[in-house]
Amino acid sequence: MILGKGDAAMKRSVWKRCSAPFFILFSVSFLLFLGCGANPTKGGGNKEPTIAIYAYYAEPVLDWDPSVEFSNGIIVMNNMYETLLRYDPENDKFEPVLATDYSKSPDSLSWTFKIRRGVKFHDGTDLNADAVKYSIDRTISLGKGAGYIWGAVKEIHVVDDYTVRFDLKYPAPLDLVASCGYAAFIVSPTAVKTHPAGWLSQGNDAGSGPYMLQSFKMGQEVVLTRFDGYWRGWEGKHYDKVVFQKIAETATRRQMIEKGDASFTLELPYEDVNALKSNSNVAIYVGPSLQNLMLYFNMAKKPLDNKLVRQALSFAFPYQDVVKYAGGNASLSRGAIPVGLWGHGDGLPQYSYDLEKAKSLLAQAGYPNGGIKLLVTYSSGDEAEKKSVELYKSELAKINVDLEIRAMPWASQWELAKGDSQGRQDIFEMYWWPDIASPYSWLFNLFHSEDTPNYNFSYMKDPAFDKLIDQGNESSGIDRRTATQEFITAQKMLIDQAAAIFAYDKKDVFITNRTFKGFKDNPVYPNVVFFYDTYKE
C-alpha cells in the first residue's frame, strides 16, 4: 500500500484541496449567471424590431455580385434587388415589377419595356432606362454565372428616360429571360461606377429592393434591414429585418422552427414533416417545385452504350418505392420537364417497375444472366438521393446486376464525370431546376451534345435532337404552342433512347413557424421567399 493507514488527515486534505477549484468554478459561474437581467448597455431602442429568420441548409450567398451569383445566393438577392418582371407559373402570367409594361415586335426580334417611375436605389439615385441598359450590358459583358440567358440580345437601346428596347439576334422569350431569378437584376450604375471593380463581390449593395444589406458573415449568415425609400412603401405589416442563417443539421432546423427560433426553413426529411403536421406551432406549405430527380446513363461507355441495356435498367427501377420512400411528397416524373411548367407532357410514356421485362431485355442485349457491374455517384449528404440508389441497388441485385454506390461532394462528382472517359461513372444522379422557366433549360443543358462535358451526363450526341430543341427555343419566343410541341417530341426521343431514368418531380415543402404569415411559394424562384409580402402575427 502506498499510503499508511493513519492518513485520514491526508485524505481529508485531499478532499479540501480537490474541492477548492470546484468551488471557485461554481461561484464564478453563479455570479456570472446572476448578472443576467442586469443593465443591458446600448442597443435595444424603444420598439423591438420584427425579425424573420430563414434557416437555410447551406451558405446563403456565394458571390455578392448579382450579375454573377448563380447559386443559393438568389434567396438573398431577390430581396435586395429587383428584376423587370416576375413570372407566375400557376397562371402563366407576368407581373410587372420594375417594368410596368412591355411589348414585342411581331417577329419577336424587338422587345420594348416601359420602366416604372419613382423607384430609388438604396444609394438614393433614381432608377431609369439608363440603369436598366447598364445593368444588362454589364451582365452580358461579364459573361459569368447565368449571364448567358441574355445570349439572344444584340443591342439595348435607351429610347427615352423610361423606355428600353432590346434588339435580338434571333427570336427568344425575352419576358421569361427578364423575369429570371438569376442574372436579371437591375443595379445602380452610380454605385458600381464610383467604386473600383470587384466592389460588389466584396459584399456591397447596389439594389432597389425592399431590403438592404446590413451585415454578413461570409458563408454563415446575412442580415438585411428595411429600405425606407422602397417604391412600394411600408404600409401594413412587414418585417423590419430579415436574417439568413446557415444551419446544416436537419434536426437543428426542425427544432428551431418548433421553438420559434426560426421563422422559415426547408429541406427537412419527410418523416419530420409528417411528425410536424400535428404540431400546432408549425405551418407546412407543400406545392409544386420545378425540381426533378434524374439518373443519367453513361451512353458513351460499355455496357450502357447499348440501348437495350438502358431500357432494361429503366424497367428495373422501383419507381413507386422511390417516389414514396425517397421522394416523400414527390410525384412520379413524366419526361424530362417537371409538372407545373409549360412543356410538361402528361401523356408521355414512362417506364414502370417490371423485373421480368428487364430480364428479357437484358437477355436480348446479350446478358441472359446479368453479370453487369455499374457505378452510380450521387451528392453526399442528400438523403433522398441516397435512399433512391439503395432501393435501386437491392432491385438490381435481383437480376444479377451489381450496383456500386458512391457518395461524393458535388465538386468531386462533377470532376469525375468530366474526367477520363474510362474512369467515369456509369450512372449520375442529380436534380435539375431551371434558370429560365423554359424546357430549353433542361433539354439544352442536360442533353445537348457537348464537346467537353458540362452537365450532359448521358454524354448524348444526337444532332437531330439538338436541332429540334434549338428550334423549340426560337419558337418559344414567337408561339408557345409550337414550342411546346417541339419540346414534347424531343422528350419522346429521350424516353425512347432511355438516356436517363426520370425518377420524380420534387415537391416544394416549406416548414414555417405559425407566426410567419403571408408567404406564397413561386417555384420559378427556387427556395426564394419574397419577404416584403410576409409579416409576423
Site for other proteins in 65-84 (CB under 8 A): 68, 70
Q: Coil, strand or helix: which one is 529? A: coil
Q: How many CA atoms lie within 13 A of 483 on its CB side?
A: 21
Choose the stretch contacting other proteins; rule: CB under 8 A; options: 90-98, 229-237, 270-278, 477-485.
270-278
Q: How far apart are CA 286 and CA 146, in angstroms?
A: 28
Residue matched to cell numbers 456565394: 62
394 grid coordinates: 437491392
Residue in 116, 138, 254, 448 binding other proteins, rule: CB under 8 A? 254
Question: Of 5-34, which residues contact other proteins (CB under 8 A)?
Answer: 7, 9-11, 13-14, 16-19, 21-22, 25, 29, 32-33
Enumerate the β-bridge partners of residue 378: 407
Q: Considering beta carbons, is residue 124 or 409 the nearer one to other proteins?
A: 409
- Per CB under 8 A, which of residues 111..170 are in contact with other proteins? 143-148
Residues 364-403: x where in contact with other proteins by CB under 8 A, - otherwise, as a string: ----------------xx-x--xx-xxx-xx--x------
Residue with Cβ nearer other proteins (484 or 513): 513
Question: Which residue of 410, 421, 467, 537 would you call a contact of other proteins, by CB under 8 A?
Answer: 410
Nearer to other proteins, 33 or 347 (CB): 33
Piece in contact with other proteins (CB under 8 A), picked from 127-135, 220-228, 353-361, 462-470: 220-228
Number of other CB atoms surrounding residue 397 within 10 Å: 13
# residues near other proteins by CB under 8 A: 100
218 lines the binding site for other proteins (CB under 8 A): yes
Helical spans, DSSP H, in 222-367: 250-259, 270-276, 307-315, 319-321, 355-365
Among 46, 280, 411, 422, binds other proteins (CB under 8 A): 411
Footprint on residues 306-345 left by other proteins (CB under 8 A): 321, 324-325
Selection from 430, 346, 342 nearest residue 382 by Cα:
430
* DSSP class of 126: B
Q: Which is nearer to other proteins, 33 or 228 (CB)?
A: 33
Of 32 and 464, the one with the shorter C-beta distance to other proteins is: 32
Site string for other proteins, 442-481 (x = CB under 8 A): ------------xx--------------------------
Q: What is the CA radius of gyration of the chain?
A: 28
223, 205 contact by CB (below 8 A): no
Q: Which is nearer to other proteins, 275 or 493 (CB)?
A: 275
Task: Give the CA distances from residue 47 to residues 43, 205, 241, 513, in Å, rounded to whole numbers and listed in that order.
Answer: 11, 26, 13, 22
Spatial CA neighbour of 512 closest among 310, 320, 253, 291: 253
Q: How far is the CB of 10 from other proteins (least distance, A)?
A: 3
Footprint of other proteins on 227-246 (CB under 8 A): 241, 243, 245-246
CA distances to 138, 380, 427, 430 from 416, rounded to whole Å, are: 33, 14, 12, 14
Least separation in angstroms between residue 119's CB and other proteins is 28
Cβ-based nearer residue to other proteins, 121 or 239: 239
Locate the DSSP E strands across 141-280.
153-160, 163-168, 211-217, 221-226, 241-246, 264-266
Partnered with residue 241 across adjacent β-strands are 51, 225
Candidate ranges 132-140, 171-179, 187-195, 250-258; the one touching other proteins (CB under 8 A): 250-258
- Judged by beta carbon, residue 124 or residue 381, the one nearer other proteins is 381
**303 preceded by cis ω (within 30°)?**
yes
Number of CB atoms found within 10 A of residue 325's CB? 15
Nearer to other proteins, 324 or 357 (CB): 324
